[in-house]
Amino acid sequence: MPTDFEYFLLEKTKTVRISTLNSYRSALKDLYRRKEVPLPSAYDKSLTTFFSGLKRLQADKYQSGSPKDSGKDPLQYSRYQQLCEATLLRQDAGFAHFFLITQWNMMCRSESVQTLCTQHLYN
């Protein structure tokens, strides 16, 4: 019988990819580790079987000709404008707004905002 966590994962399969669900499983295991409580081996085995089933269903779906979804929907420009307005209202000295517009402007490049240096802004 599925556990609450497995019901949660089944519900999430409608909106996120299996790799994301795998990160949820990792977070659960990490929580057990941090609390120094061993994860019940039967439950661990059950989760392994559960994920094997999910991966098999995904493989069957792709095998039948369903297109592979990247899992990433484009950010609509109107939503970007809303985000810009919301970040302008934050009390963080403009950091969130700066990060958002910089990220938006660098989307077409292979670099990310984290590699950006302030010296690059002056040259």
Residue 100: what pLDDT?
Answer: 87
Report the run of H or E that residue 113 belongs to, with start and end: none
> Could you give the CA distance from residue 107 to residue 48 in angstroms, rounded to a whole number?
36
Contact 87, 77 (CB under 8 A): no
pLDDT at 52: 92
Contact 9, 24 (CB under 8 A): yes
Q: 3-state class of 6 per DSSP?
A: helix
Report how far Cα 4 is from the mean position of its chain's Cα atoms.
21
Instruction: Report pLDDT for 112.
Output: 63
- Does the reported pTM lie above 0.75? no
From first to last of the 123 residues of the chain, give the pLDDT tens digit: 457 888 888 888 877 788 888 899 999 999 999 999 999 999 889 889 989 998 998 888 888 887 776 666 777 889 989 999 999 999 998 899 988 888 877 776 656 666 666 666 665
41-57 b/e with 16+ CB inside 10 Å = b? eeeeebbeebbeebeee
Residue identified by tokens 């802004």 is 121
